[in-house]
A = this chain, B = another copy of it.
Amino acid sequence: MHVSEVEWSKTEEEIAKHAFEKAYQREIEAVIQEVRQRSSKMTQADEMWQLHDFLSARRHEIDGKYEYRYSVLIFVFARLIKEGWLHLDELQGLEKDKLTKVAVMTRM
């Protein structure tokens, strides 16, 4: 699969951008919920530093994961679907070949 050489049409770019942002917003929302829940319960320093560790880890992971480059987007989408932040049908409108690649990768 020569994913990096794949071309993206204007329409596909819009679909991709939209799906990418939707997944990002969902994941951020989940982290926000977790932060809210933890911070409403915490009373001790160690719980607060654990929250800080949690945020450090999530930030690092999210920064690395959401890479909007067309050469890697197929991989990014496959990962996001696998992790539950995106549904394959939210990529409808992409070329069949791209959708197949994403679908295959999510099953790997």
Contacts and interface: CB of A to CB of B under 8 A. Distances in A.
A108 interface: no
Interface residues of A, number: 19
When all copies of this chain in the complex are counted, the total is: 2
A65 to B, nearest CB: 13
Interface in A4-48: 24, 28, 31-32, 35-36, 39-40, 42-45, 48
A51 interface: yes
B44 A28 contact: yes
A32 B28 contact: no
Interface of A: 24, 28, 31-32, 35-36, 39-40, 42-45, 48-49, 51-52, 55-56, 59
